[in-house]
Structure 1
Amino acid sequence: MTQEDTHQSGYNIHWRRNLAVCFAGSFSTLIAMTLLLPFLPLYVEQLGVKGHAAIVQWSGIAYGAAFFAAGLVAPLWGRLGDLYGRKLMLIRASFGMAVCVSLMGMVQDVWQLAALRLLIGLAGGYSSGSTILVAMQTPKNRSGWALGVLSAGIMAGNLVGPLIGGALPPLIGIRATFLSAGGVIFLAFLATTFLIKEEHRKPAKVEGKRASAFSLIPDKRPVIAMLVTGILLMVANMSIEPIITVYVAQIIDDQSRITLISGFVMSATALGTILSAPRLGKLADRIGHWNVIIGALSVSALLLIPQAFVTQGWQLIALRFLMGLALGGLLPCITSVIRHNIPDGVGGNVLGLSVSAQYIGQVAGSVAGGFIGGHFGMQAVFLGTSVLMALGAVYNWVVQSRRARHMVAAAGES
């Protein structure tokens, strides 16, 4: 197949190399971004904050600032990626993150730390940018597998980062850890600059003006369904994560093992996702992305029910691992369905909206989980989330069924 053929069919002949670079870049940048979790409160205290409540508050502000800012600007970076190239957005993100993370090792005040975390959110977004680039320049019949591989790299970075963050500061110090992390991200910047090959196409114009992203989508129902599903996925994760430590304290007898068991519970979900994402993505390419989404939501809804009634820590670990296996196919399939239902020129814009929707789910899930857990008990969080996932499965089934009937009717008329 010639390069012109691939251009017309909507994928890049260098997609495998681009996937490898994006996998390595997302893995390394997320390690650098999450390794501060274990020592963030200690660093906040070193910067002069006194009192347990103030340290916890500033740690939350500093950590959450990046995600808040990233959610706001994700559609903007997606739109600019459509206009000027997605590789350029990855170069911008990796360079900006390298500078900001390195500067975090030089701050003298907690305000400076929070401000740099905010700037990281505004300038960053390497993993979400990688997802958009891979989605838009991979053959459509391989998109599920490719996005599954990338999703596994993203989850692995989130899993390995805190482990390195727990081991490295005692050896080289907190400030040197930030400088080292900045150096790792700079390597990702170099790899992105010199190894990624992009065939950039600008968005279509309508009557001499650039059309809005949604106006160019023939059937908006699948895209809207995927935005809702992305929110549900993050609600399912984040409604549970903040209360796991408290829940573990209620079900185990040895209180000295609370943090250990909680760590295993959180890691089990991530490990399950890492193992299943490429496989479920490949399966979705064969049997259909909608089928995997509906199945994953249904299985997750069922697995959440016994989690509300566990009596031992190992039971929760096993169920969360199975939950991770089920959830692993959702993000690749959500992105693939969007990719299959939008024109090439507006992919970044719409997928940027998908990223923002997922950030909304993260915020809503953590707030709702804490509120429900505090007022109605921990079991209510699991059962309520189960109901949401079941409703999401039904909603996706209805949308897909109606869409299939519409396509059959349209084919019959033609």
Structure 2
Amino acid sequence: MVTPRFLLVMGATLAYYVCVGVLIPVLPVFVENGMGSGEAMVGATAVAFSVAAVAARPGITWIGNRFGRRSMMVWGSALSVVAGLGHLFVTEAWQLLPLRAVMGIGEAGLFVGASTVVVELSPDNRRAEAASYLSLSVFGGLAVGPIIGELVMGDVASNARGLDAGRFDAVFWLMTIFAAVAAVVSLSAPRWVGERPAIAEHKVSWMQREAVIPGMILAGGIVSWTAFSSFVPGFAKQLGLGGSAAFFTLYSILCLLIRLVGARWPERIGLKRTVMFALTCLTLGMGVVAVMANEAGIWIGTVLMGFGMSFLYPSLLAMSVQRVDDMRRVAVVASFTAFFEIGSAVGGLSLGVLGEVFGKRSTFVGGAVFAAAGLLILIWYRNRSVNRGAVAL
């Protein structure tokens, strides 16, 4: 399964997500210090990215079915090259919005293309394993990228203002280079895996039914992750801790180890059982942080979040494409992966309101509630499948 082509797809994905990761710590500083804007504009850039990524899914599906899987990866990366170069010419904060939208479309194209290719290169009973390996590239890029971005940008004083406050242009050139590397490596991806599927006569729809239930469950988990990643840093400072870097380092190590060692576990244990375990970990993880509200609680929550997030996406992706033919696979993968952005948007908005009204601990309660909601949806879905099987008999 892990052929040279598979590894090259992983390589292109890694390069692309380094490009994405480089900008994570830099963009808020560029908006606030470089542009003199505020948190509202930082939030608006995130919304522009997510909305564009979701809205582009039908077009990405059409491209993938018409021109091949490789085209999604190449053109997605190429769009990010254009957006990266565009950042060099920004003089006002609002100009970032269309650039972030282009980046969102590019990210959607690359990720849908890579996810589809690794699924199609894998045997039916090893698709969750393939998704686990691909997620190593995503996770690795998002882990390494921010470190590189901060190093290149340099220290920026909190009261510094202006485009010379940090080495922003160097960061934008760097993200452009990584996007270009992703585009070049993507050329090695297969256009089709096996024979080209027949062109569908029906119109491409925005959402495929096979992706809805797995996607809703994924969104619940992503909201839980948003609570952890967005509010643990501030909560740690509130508790008088030095920072949150140690927690995220542990989380990163756990995810890497689990995705390497446990890549085959979901199919061996059962996809639905694995998702149930993952959601239980996420619910308990956020619940522990909220209830204990101390350093020990964050450590325990970090371990539980590491286990939960490591198994959630690969198992759900495999569930969503279980009974999908070649022609519709791109559409289902596109629909399913859209729930990453949907979960992030819902989590950012709802948890932000909770935090403003009730304080940071309430955001962890909210994360636990969304993960528990995903668990309830899974239980309902499993029971419905069992009942349908009984009726068929």
When normalised by structure 1's length, the TM-score is 0.82
CA deviation after TM superposition for structure 1 residue 71, in Å: 1.8
Find the counterpart in structure 2 of residue 296 from structure 1. 278
Matches within 5 A, 1:272-311: 272-311=254-293
The answer on whether the counterparts of 2:281 and 2:307 sit within 8 Å (CA) in structure 1 is no
Find the counterpart in structure 2 of residue 184 from structure 1. 178
CA deviation after TM superposition for structure 1 residue 203, in Å: 4.6
> 2: distance between equivalents of 1:233 and 1:72?
21
CA deviation after TM superposition for structure 1 residue 147, in Å: 0.5
> 2: distance between equivalents of 1:114 and 1:312?
38
State which drifts further: 382-391 or 68-77.
382-391
- 1:59 is aligned, of 33, 42, 52, to 42
Measured against aligned partners, the alpha-carbon deviations of 1:285-337 in whole angstroms (never above 9, x if no partner) come to 21211110011112222222211133543541442133122221110111101
CA gap of 1:328–1:98, structure 2 versus 1, over 3 A, is same
Gaps of 5+ in 1: 1-13
Q: Which letter maps to 1:25?
A: A
Gaps of 5+ in 2: 156-165
Q: Which letter maps to 1:210?
A: H
Matches within 5 A, 1:1-400: 16-44=3-31, 49-50=35-36, 54-125=37-108, 126-170=110-154, 173-196=167-190, 198-199=192-193, 201-203=196-198, 205=200, 209-210=201-202, 223-252=211-240, 257=242, 261-313=243-295, 315-400=297-382
Sequence identity of aligned pairs in percent? Answer: 19
> 1: distance between equivalents of 2:2 and 2:327?
17
The answer on whether the counterparts of 1:146 and 1:278 sit within 8 Å (CA) in structure 2 is no
CA gap of 1:287–1:46, structure 2 versus 1, over 3 A, is closer
The answer on whether the counterparts of 2:6 and 2:121 sit within 8 Å (CA) in structure 1 is no
> 1: distance between equivalents of 2:96 and 2:367?
34
When normalised by structure 2's length, the TM-score is 0.86
CA deviation after TM superposition for structure 1 residue 341, in Å: 2.4
CA gap of 1:35–1:212, structure 2 versus 1, over 3 A, is closer
> 1: distance between equivalents of 2:348 and 2:171?
29
State which drifts further: 73-82 or 357-366.
73-82
State which drifts further: 141-150 or 276-285.
276-285
State which drifts further: 88-97 or 262-271.
262-271
- Partner SS for 1:135: helix
The answer on whether the counterparts of 2:221 and 2:282 sit within 8 Å (CA) in structure 1 is no
Which structure has the bigger radius of gyration?
A: 1
Q: Which letter maps to 2:173?
A: L
CA deviation after TM superposition for structure 1 residue 69, in Å: 1.1
CA deviation after TM superposition for structure 1 residue 141, in Å: 1.3
State how many pairs are aligned.
Answer: 381
CA gap of 1:402–1:304, structure 2 versus 1, over 3 A, is same
> Aligned Cα RMSD in Å?
2.8
State which drifts further: 186-195 or 159-168.
186-195
Measured against aligned partners, the alpha-carbon deviations of 1:245-299 in whole angstroms (never above 9, x if no partner) come to 33223322x5xx3xxx233334443443333234444101212111100111122
The answer on whether the counterparts of 1:293 and 1:330 sit within 8 Å (CA) in structure 2 is yes
State which drifts further: 238-247 or 224-233.
238-247
CA gap of 1:401–1:75, structure 2 versus 1, over 3 A, is same
Find the counterpart in structure 2 of residue 10 from structure 1. none
CA gap of 1:378–1:59, structure 2 versus 1, over 3 A, is closer
The answer on whether the counterparts of 1:61 and 1:114 sit within 8 Å (CA) in structure 2 is yes
> 1: distance between equivalents of 2:382 and 2:62?
28
